Amino acid sequence: MSATEIDYYELLEVSRDADDKVLKSAYRKLAMRYHPDKNPGCSDSEARFKQINEAYDVLKDPQKRAAYDQYGHAAFQQGMGGGGAGGMGAEFGDIGDIFESIFGSAFGGAGGGRQQQRRGADLRYDMEVSLEEAFRGKQTEITIEVSQTCEPCSGSGAEPGTSKRTCQMCAGHGKVRAQQGFFVVERTCPTCHGRGEVIEKPCRSCGGEGRVDMPQTLQVDVPPGVDSGTRIRLSGKGEAGPFGAPPGDLYIFLHVKRHKVFERDGTTLITRVPITFTTAALGGSIEIPGIDGEMIAIDIPAGIQSGKQLRKRGSGMPVLQGRGRGDLVIEITVETPTKLTARQKELLRELQETETGEECPQSKGFFDRIKDAWNDLTE
Ligand SMILES: [Zn+2]
Ligand SMILES: [Zn+2]
């Protein structure tokens, strides 16, 4: 086993359940102690300094830490991504990615390693929007704390003005071979992590890591028609890759809040509208406010029953990245009056007397219910 395989928690001298704060202070203390500047010419200190950085790099990241807890060092030997980030990428690569913003490739020039470099981790950001915002779309800004390529060293991890030298462990190949039983196993060089070079003197700003945590403000464009579960990918806005490697992506997970009036099923909106029993019996027209704020006129056919659904085409939610809108479904509730004037009672009694069931069988059920409700009322 090579020296890099010391348990990360042991390296940082913390327990396995140490929280971020404990980790950070343990890392700072040890990084100070083993910093090459404090131990000039001591290769043991230099090696330990690198190990500490490597351990902290993994444990400070919840995804990587979880992968490490589960798989140990093996999680990071296939060029990162083997653990959390890669799996996540695969899972995300499907329908939910509705668009991709290509931002300037600030990181593009850096790196250029000998093998495929491990890219930075993908990040998740949860965003709540109202149904109206989901209808219209929304442009907003978010600020997140995310690791970015260190400026003074351009992500190389080497103190500006100092150079890198070819890794002696792997002679610059980035990979080492080891006999394991009958097999020869090739894996990423533990000394240079596959880069083929090692840093002589770590950059002071980033401790040799090539990246630093910084708040970042991002423009988020929420298109019309998003739903809970829609993900927006901001390409390259995830965590910076180590040593100038490409950054990961940022995924905005959308959650649409419940609405007081409308329920939603895909592009269909559903609303419940109470009408008076006279409108139900005689028919008429009502107006209700739509999700776009416009009033919608609804024709009520005479004799409509409670629970009946009417459909207004094109008054639902917009199709995400498409044309047109879904439908609005109006579910009718017939309200039985609870306060009647003497005159109204008189009219209803008159109506009741005409109900012999012969002239209009369709409306018979309706008036039976009125009668039942009436009886309940007078008990
Ligand atoms: Zn730096
Ligand atoms: Zn190497």
Predicted confidence (pLDDT) per residue in 282-291, tens digit:
999 999 999 9
Structure confidence at residue 337 as a pLDDT band (50, 70, 90)? confident
* CA 148–ligand 1 middle distance (angstroms): 10
Q: Is the pLDDT of residue 374 over 80?
A: no
| DSSP for residue 159 | P
* CA 84–ligand 2 middle distance (angstroms): 24
Residue range 199-211: mean pLDDT, rounded = 88
* CA 36–ligand 1 middle distance (angstroms): 15
Q: Is the pLDDT of residue 222 over 90?
A: yes
Beta carbons of 305 and 333 less than 8 angstroms apart: no
Residue range 64-90: mean pLDDT, rounded = 55
- Token digits of residue 368: 């039976």
What pLDDT is recorded for position 109?
Answer: 32
What pLDDT is recorded for position 107?
Answer: 32
Query: How far apart, in whole angstroms, are the C-alpha atoms of residue 244 and residue 225?
Result: 37
42 annotated as a binding-site residue: no
Residue with tokens 């950070």: 24
pTM equals: 0.56
Q: For residue 285, which of 273, 297, 303 has the smallest C-alpha distance?
A: 297
Give the DSSP per-residue string, 166-217: E-TTTTTSSEEEEEETTEEEEEE-TTTTTSSEEESSB-TTTTTSSEEEEEEE
Query: How far apart, in whole angstroms, are the C-alpha atoms of residue 54 and residue 73?
Result: 11
Q: Is the pLDDT of residue 98 over 60?
A: no
* CA 76–ligand 2 middle distance (angstroms): 15
Tell me which ligand sits closest to the C-alpha of residue 168. 2
More confident residue, 58 or 85: 58
Residue range 42-66: mean pLDDT, rounded = 86
* CA 149–ligand 1 middle distance (angstroms): 8
| pLDDT tens string 139-163 | 999 999 999 999 998 888 889 888 8
What pLDDT is recorded for position 156?
Answer: 84
Tell me which ligand sits closest to the C-alpha of residue 189. 2
Task: Quote the percentage of the chain above a pLDDT of 90.
Answer: 40
Beta strands in 227-359 (DSSP E): 231-234, 250-256, 263-265, 268-276, 284-289, 295-300, 309-312, 328-335
Please give the C-alpha separations between residue 241 and each of 43, 197, 201, 211, 311, in angstroms, as whole numbers. 26, 16, 20, 8, 52
* CA 378–ligand 2 middle distance (angstroms): 91
Residue range 5-24: mean pLDDT, rounded = 87
Beta carbons of 89 and 97 less than 8 angstroms apart: no
Structure confidence at residue 41 as a pLDDT band (50, 70, 90)? confident
174-184 in b/e form (b: 16+ CB < 10 A) is bebeeeeeeee
Residue with tokens 């998003």: 226
* CA 174–ligand 2 middle distance (angstroms): 5
> What residue type is assigned to position 172 of the chain?
G
Residue range 55-72: mean pLDDT, rounded = 84
Q: Is the pLDDT of residue 112 over 60?
A: no
What pLDDT is recorded for position 307?
Answer: 95
Residue range 319-338: mean pLDDT, rounded = 93
Tell me which ligand sits closest to the C-alpha of residue 198. 2
Give the residue ranges of DSSP H helices in the chain.
8-11, 20-34, 43-59, 62-71, 84-92, 131-136, 277-282, 342-354, 361-378
What pLDDT is recorded for position 92?
Answer: 36
* CA 199–ligand 1 middle distance (angstroms): 11
Tell me which ligand sits closest to the C-alpha of residue 4. 2
Burial level of 21, CB count in 10 A (0-12/13-18/19+)? exposed
- Token digits of residue 215: 């708040």
Tell me which ligand sits closest to the C-alpha of residue 150. 1
* CA 209–ligand 1 middle distance (angstroms): 7
192 annotated as a binding-site residue: yes
What pLDDT is recorded for position 93?
Answer: 33
Residue range 77-102: mean pLDDT, rounded = 34
Weakest-pLDDT range from 27-41, 73-87, 347-361 = 73-87
* CA 192–ligand 1 middle distance (angstroms): 16
* CA 219–ligand 1 middle distance (angstroms): 26
Structure confidence at residue 334 as a pLDDT band (50, 70, 90)? very high
Tell me which ligand sits closest to the C-alpha of residue 154. 1
Tell me which ligand sits closest to the C-alpha of residue 175. 2
* CA 9–ligand 1 middle distance (angstroms): 24
Weakest-pLDDT range from 66-70, 267-271, 293-297 = 66-70
360 annotated as a binding-site residue: no
Q: Chain-wide mean pLDDT for the chain?
A: 81
Beta carbons of 162 and 102 less than 8 angstroms apart: no
Query: How far apart, in whole angstroms, are the C-alpha atoms of residue 270 and residue 261?
Result: 8
Structure confidence at residue 210 as a pLDDT band (50, 70, 90)? confident
Structure confidence at residue 196 as a pLDDT band (50, 70, 90)? confident
What pLDDT is recorded for position 311?
Answer: 96
What pLDDT is recorded for position 376?
Answer: 61
What pLDDT is recorded for position 366?
Answer: 59
More confident residue, 67 or 362: 67
* CA 124–ligand 2 middle distance (angstroms): 32
What pLDDT is recorded for position 212?
Answer: 92
* CA 178–ligand 2 middle distance (angstroms): 14
- Token digits of residue 331: 């579910």
- CB neighbours of 181 closer than 8 A, spacing ≥ 6? none
* CA 218–ligand 1 middle distance (angstroms): 23
Residue with tokens 């915002």: 133
Tell me which ligand sits closest to the C-alpha of residue 240. 1
